Amino acid sequence: MDKNSSQDSDLKKDVEPVAPDMTPDPITTDQAEADTEVASVDSAEDISGMDSIINEFIVESYENLDQLDQDLVGLEQNPGEVSILSSIFRTIHTIKGTCGFIGFSKLESVAHVGENLLSKLRDGELVLNPPITSALLAMVDAIRQMLSCVEESQNEGDVDYSELIETLTTLLKGESSETAPVAVESSSSTETVEASGEVTPADQSEEPPVQVLVPEAKQEESPAKLAESGGGVEKKQENRSMADTNIRVDVKLLDQLMNLVGELVLARNQILQFGDQNQDAVFSATTQHLNLVTTELQEGVMKTRMQPIGNVWSKFPRVVRDLAASCGKKIRLEMEGKETELDKTLIEAIKDPLTHIVRNSADHGIETPAERIAAGKPEEGMLKLRAFHEGGQVNIEIIDDGGGIDPEKIKQKALEKNVITQEQAARMSDREFANLIFAAGFSTAAKVTNVSGRGVGMDVVKTNIEKIGGTVDVQSKFKEGTTLKIKIPLTLAIIPALTVMTGGDRYAIPQVNLLELVLLEGEQAVKSVEFIQGAPVYRLRGHLLPLIYLNEELKVKKQEENDKVNIVVLQADERQFGLVVEGVRDTEEIVVKPLSHQLKGISAFSGSTIMGDGKVALILDVMGLAQSARVVTQNRERSRLESSDKGDGKTTDKQTLLIFGLGENGRMAIPLSMVARLEEFNRADIEKSGEQEVVQYRGEIMPLICLSEIILGVKTSAQRETLQAIVYTQNGRSVALVADKILDIVDENITVKRGSSRKGTLGTVVVQGKVTDLLDAEAIVREKDPTFYDNKPLVTV
Amino acid sequence: MTENTQFCTFYLGDLFFGVKVENVQEVFRYQEMTRVPLAPSVVRGLINLRGQIITAIDLRARLCLEKLPEGQMPMNVVVRTKEGVVSLLVDEIADVLEVSEDNFERPPDTIDKVTRELVYGVYKLENKLLLILDTEKTVNMGVDSTTSSMVAEV
């Protein structure tokens, strides 16, 4: 016994630090059972890590057993019913399997014989008769008893079930020796009596022996149980509590409840507003109460949808193990805070991005043992997942102690792929380089493995996380490791938002995007807003904040002219900008409702909501606004660098040009004033109208013009999955000019060096020290569609 | 044996329209709505219908008819479609009519193209014609509408 328990604790030491939540070796628990008295406390601690697994097992098994009782009785009435038999067989098989997995050998052995018996019944080798039914029911009782023992003391108890097993075995053998199934009934009775002679008093009829068998087994078990636990009856009632306090609920019902609570929150808001105007004391007390109850109800319902992040993580040990094996690496996976809860829909949404990151870290991050030893690190690499709540958000960190991100390598790759220019590279910090891994089509893996390295992925990870209102950031120390930090909101359905006014309408801005509010009054309002070539900016603590006027973006008329400037400072991606609105109201919890199909295409709005007064308000999509106002360009890093350039001032006499790549090394420019938008189209979205490639764009059909085809005579866009397009709009008609790569936006003093005879170009200029062709958009468009400039809009709905 | 179909009917100017009764969720009077900047011009705004936000489509604009005279308030015919519940703004709501399939006919080619696109049939009533609206096409602002209006223009 001593030896056992010492071994036991040794094993425990080995197992626990590696993965405290992983299933311990079955031996551990077996030994724990063997010395029940001494090790019962030990073993309870031992398995504490698996508590959740065992709890789930118990709850599930109880449900299954209840079903079994019904099934068995039903089967007795309809012995031929194969479907019931199969269902019983499956249930017992599941219980047996899980027992073996968790390490309850006694439970397993009982279930095992039962399963054998059932399989014979199922295969038609045996025909069900009352003794068999009773024996099976006795087995169900035994399993139930052991389960209650497990629930109470984490072990199966020391009741001896060998007699039950024997009975089952004899039934199994006795019957199988029978060759004539027709004779089963009569013969089985004698067989049973003979076989179970020691257990049951011999009887002539079929029913009694088994009826005795059951109580006898119980009688035998009960004293033992009493002796072990003291007060059997009381304990037994407590035992069932776990199963009784858990119920399974359809997620749909929870979603429905969530919607209803959303409605209730709205109604509450309306009543609160009404209550504020009303001075009645009783009424305000009632509203206060309603307020409290609603808040609690909302929290409660939201909790029901919460799931521990461990549900997603549970598959990672296997993923990492397999990956490590296939790459010949040694990786230790640590998990911290797996009980951190978040909304079910969010759990679903982060599953894929998280898997991707973990695979990435294991594949690219952690080095091979040889490399690690050479770098003076322990042979085994460490991959750590950490989750915790902070400031109403869920933080997830994926930390590895691998090779880290090499800024040089990133730089080379980025230059090679024209993601950044030399100049920008010179100014970027290591951290900015690291974040380039989120740029589209970027992979630094030296070779493409079957796991990752195809250059898709991290940008998708980022998009997916941003889709659910989250952010992702990477910090890396070369040769020391990488940390990826993901922040996501707790829930999506109800969010705090700031309401603002523009053009007489209310709009809601999600508070996640909100940084601060600035109010400029009187003289300040006039002076503080400066203009760089028509683009308004405000100096916020020494930094230039680009301003966007909401009414201009939404193309609505200003309602009132006043001398106040309300600036809502917002964060889109990593870029800040100021949204100028006419008025700022208060913050409110709003229920986000999706936009209808007809309005999906408007990037400025992410949804709608019902305000306290029952009216509908639109929710602004900060990211969409920033994009349409070109605060955030295709390449964020660049725009940031550019804006710091603008900080130098004196750019007024310069022209802003959009630089894009064409063909291998071609550089072309188009005045930014001619560019309506930059868009990315998927190849799948492109359709044909005759020979012309077109794309459906904002409810219109927009022709695509491949610039390389016209200028270089080669259609370079043909193989590409996504097309970078410059949307050029005149008189309400648009065409998409497809470039190979959008490179940059620059302010430059340009002088045309020489006129060009080349098709589609106006001439050649020097931009950023490089020769750049100036695009003759008009000529190109005219060639493709001679009627484009006819001063008549095509669509007049 | 002829079958009868029930239609919820309404007026747009002097045009008499019908929508299958089973597609209509409810009808109600004019309600204040929230306009949606940047939206297609046929979208008049968003309405809070007992906690559900629905889009109101100006049926006159959709059918390229003239605007409703100032001061006259349209009414809502709320229809269920594959794209969700949508309100159609009409001039005036009339009765629910039961009409015989015998009187059905495809619309003649001579009527306006947009109208022909959205009206899938005509019932010849005693003293007037009942135009049956295809609600799915009406609320779908995708390619269909654009092409049809382009065709109409060219």
Identify all chain A residues contacting B36, using CB atoms and an 8 Å cutoff: 599, 602, 605, 618
> A656 - beta bridge partners?
A747
- Average of pLDDT values for A507-521? 88
Whether the pLDDT of residue B58 is over 90: the answer is yes
CB contact under 8 A, A618 and B36: yes
Is residue A385 within 8 Å of A333, Cβ to Cβ? Answer: yes
Q: Give the span between the Cα atoms of B62 and B118, in whole angstroms.
A: 9
Q: Compare all CA atoms of chain A with the CA of B81 and give the residue at the minimum distance.
A: A597
Which of A408-412, A519-523, B71-75: highest mean pLDDT? B71-75
Is residue A702 within 8 Å of A692, Cβ to Cβ? Answer: no
Q: Does domain A251-305 have CATH number 1.10.287.560?
A: yes
Q: For B4-153, which CATH class?
A: mainly beta
Domain ranges of chain A: 2-244, 251-305, 308-489, 494-628, 653-784
> Counting Cβ atoms within 10 Å, is residue B139 exposed (0-12), middle (13-18) or buried (19+)?
buried
Is residue A609 within 8 Å of A508, Cβ to Cβ? Answer: yes
Which of helix, strand or coil describes residue A735? strand
Whether the pLDDT of residue A641 is over 70: the answer is no
Q: Give first-to-last CA distance, chain A, whole Å.
A: 89
Whether the pLDDT of residue B45 is over 90: the answer is yes
Q: Does B8 touch chain A (CB under 8 A)?
A: no
CATH superfamily of A308-489: Histidine kinase-like ATPase, C-terminal domain (3.30.565.10)
Query: Which one has a higher pLDDT value, A590 or A795?
Result: A590
> B123 - beta bridge partners?
B104, B130
Average pLDDT of chain B? 84
> B88 - beta bridge partners?
B57, B77
**Mutate which: B43, B46, B64, B145, vs A, most A CBs within 10 A:** B46
Is residue A150 within 8 Å of A235, Cβ to Cβ? Answer: no
Q: Does A689 touch chain B (CB under 8 A)?
A: no
What pLDDT, in 10s, does the model give residues A443-478?
Answer: 555 444 444 443 446 777 887 887 777 788 888 888
- Average of pLDDT values for A598-610? 84
Q: Does B110 touch chain A (CB under 8 A)?
A: no
Q: Give the span between the Cα atoms of A692 and A738, in whole angstroms.
A: 13
Q: How sure is the predictor about B1, in pLDDT bands with cuts at 50, 70 and 90?
A: low
Q: Please tell me the number of Cα atoms within 13 Å of B111 on its side-chain side.
A: 17
pLDDT for A535 equals 84
Q: Which of A619-623, A748-752, A765-769, B94-98 has the lowest mean pLDDT?
A: A748-752
Identify all chain B residues contacting A554, using CB atoms and an 8 Å cutoff: 37-38
Q: For A653-784, which CATH class?
A: mainly beta
Q: Does A556 touch chain B (CB under 8 A)?
A: yes
Residue-wise burial string across A499-519, b where 16 or more C-beta atoms lie within 10 A, e elsewhere: bbbbbebbbbbbebbbeeebe
Domain ranges of chain B: 4-153
Residue-wise burial string across A319-356, b where 16 or more C-beta atoms lie within 10 A, e elsewhere: bbeebbeebebbbbbebebbebbbbbbbbebbeebbeb
Whether the pLDDT of residue A594 is over 60: the answer is yes
Q: Give the span between the Cα atoms of A395 and A419, in whole angstroms.
A: 29
Q: What percent of chain A has pLDDT over 90?
A: 3
Q: Helix/strand/coil (H, E, C) string of A91-127?
A: HHHHHHHHHHHHCCHHHHHHHHHHHHHHHHHHCCCCC
Structure tokens at A328: 């010949």
Could you count the other beta carbons within 10 Å of the beta carbon of residue B145?
22
Look up residue B59 and give its amino acid: L
Task: Tell which residue, A83, A80, A23, has the closest CA to residue A57.
Answer: A23
DSSP string, A437-480: GGSTT----SS--SSS-SS-SHHHHHHHHHHTT-EEEEEEETTT
Residue-wise burial string across B50-62, b where 16 or more C-beta atoms lie within 10 A, e elsewhere: ebebbbbbbbbbb
CATH code that applies to domain A494-628: 2.40.50.180
Q: Compare all CA atoms of chain B with the CA of A259 and give the residue at the minimum distance.
A: B51
Which of A233-242, A369-378, A440-449: highest mean pLDDT? A369-378
Is residue A365 within 8 Å of A481, Cβ to Cβ? Answer: yes
Identify all chain B residues contacting A618, using CB atoms and an 8 Å cutoff: 34, 36, 46
pLDDT for A244 equals 64
Whether the pLDDT of residue A37 is over 50: the answer is no
Average pLDDT of chain A? 72
Q: Give the span between the Cα atoms of B78 and B26, in whole angstroms.
A: 5
What pLDDT, in 10s, does the model give residues A395-409?
Answer: 899 998 888 877 787
Whether the pLDDT of residue A556 is over 60: the answer is yes
What pLDDT, in 10s, does the model give residues A661-711?
Answer: 887 777 888 887 777 777 788 888 888 887 788 888 777 788 888 888 877
Q: Give the span between the Cα atoms of A35 and A298, in whole angstroms.
A: 49
CATH code that applies to domain A2-244: 1.20.120.160
Identify all chain B residues contacting A556, using CB atoms and an 8 Å cutoff: 37
Which of A463-477, A496-510, A546-560, A597-611: highest mean pLDDT? A496-510
Helix (H) or strand (E) holding B58: strand B52-58
A616-620: strand order across its sheet:
A583-591, A494-502, A505-510, A616-620, A605-610
Whether the pLDDT of residue A41 is over 60: the answer is no
CB contact under 8 A, B84 and A503: no
The strand ranges marked E within A683-721 are 686-689, 692-697, 700-706
Q: Give the span between the Cα atoms of A571 and A632, in whole angstroms.
A: 10
Task: Tell which residue, A602, A607, A604, has the closest CA to residue A591.
Answer: A607
Minimum distance, in Å, between the CA of residue B139 and any CA atom of chain A: 7
Q: Strands A341-343 and A741-748: what pairing?
A: unpaired
Structure tokens at A180: 């004539």
Q: Which of residues 581-600 of A touch B (CB under 8 A)?
A: 593, 596-599
Q: How sure is the predictor about A618, in pLDDT bands with cuts at 50, 70 and 90?
A: very high
Q: Give the span between the Cα atoms of A69 and A138, in whole angstroms.
A: 10
Q: Does B80 touch chain A (CB under 8 A)?
A: no
Q: Compare all CA atoms of chain A with the CA of B55 and give the residue at the minimum distance.
A: A596
- Average of pLDDT values for B15-31? 91
DSSP string, A417-437: TTSS-HHHHHH--HHHHHHGG
Task: Tell me, yes or no, if the two domains A251-305 and A308-489 fold the same way.
Answer: no
What pLDDT, in 10s, does the model give residues A151-199?
Answer: 777 776 777 777 788 887 887 776 444 433 333 333 333 333 333 333 3
What pLDDT, in 10s, does the model give residues A309-343?
Answer: 888 888 888 888 888 888 888 888 888 888 888 88
Any residues with CB less than 8 A from the CB of A570 and at least 6 apart, and which? A509, A513, A514, A515, A576, A577, A578, A579, A622, A626
- Average of pLDDT values for A297-304? 83
pLDDT for A298 equals 82
Q: Tokens 């829909």 label which residue?
A: A345
Look up residue B29 and give its amino acid: R
pLDDT for A385 equals 92
Backbone angles phi, psi at A509, to 5 degrees: -120, 120
CB contact under 8 A, B53 and A266: no
Q: How sure is the predictor about A791, in pLDDT bands with cuts at 50, 70 and 90?
A: low
pTM: predicted TM-score of the whole model, two decimal places: 0.45
Q: What is the ipTM of this complex?
A: 0.83
Which of helix, strand or coil describes residue A231? coil
Q: Compare all CA atoms of chain B with the CA of A604 and give the residue at the minimum distance.
A: B38
Q: How sure is the predictor about B44, in pLDDT bands with cuts at 50, 70 and 90?
A: very high
